[in-house]
């Protein structure tokens, strides 16, 4: 059930919106979670866990620190789904 990167981006934007209140349109591929979107580490963990459930993947804790941009997360999720 691999999804397109666009579908993953949209799903991820919904999760970010739910957790932080940020507008889904602001969740763009090249945005940094911490620097552009101002998402702290606690919110990031919630986003990761919710993404695992939504996309049916496992994102190891050790991988989370590598997910600096939205694109990093989308790419990782797409790779884990395939």
Report the C-alpha gap between 68 and 10 in whole angstroms. Answer: 18
> Does the CA dihedral 48-59-69-41 come out positive or negative?
positive
Minimum CB–partner distance for residue 4 and another protein (Å): 27
Name which of 32 and 50 has its Cβ closer to another protein. Answer: 50
CB 20 within 8 A of CB 44: no
Tell me how far, at minimum, the Cβ of 46 lies from another protein, in Å: 6
Nearer Cβ to another protein, position 32 or 43? 43
Q: Which is nearer to another protein, 36 or 71 (CB)?
A: 36
CB of residue 69 to another protein, shortest distance in Å: 21
Helix-helix angle 41-55:5-20, to 10 degrees: 130
Q: Helix, strand or coil for residue 15?
A: helix
* Residues within the interface to another protein (CB under 8 A): 18-21, 42-43, 45-46, 49
């Amino acid at each position: 059930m691999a999804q397109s990167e666009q579908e993953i981006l949209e799903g991820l934007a919904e999760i970010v919106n739910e957790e932080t209140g940020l507008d889904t349109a602001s969740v763009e591929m090249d945005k940094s979670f911490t620097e552009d979107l101002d998402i702290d580490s606690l919110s990031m963990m919630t986003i990761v866990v919710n993404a695992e459930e939504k996309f049916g993947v496992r994102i190891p804790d050790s991988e989370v620190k590598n997910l600096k941009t939205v694109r990093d997360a989308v790419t990782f999720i797409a790779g884990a789904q395939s």
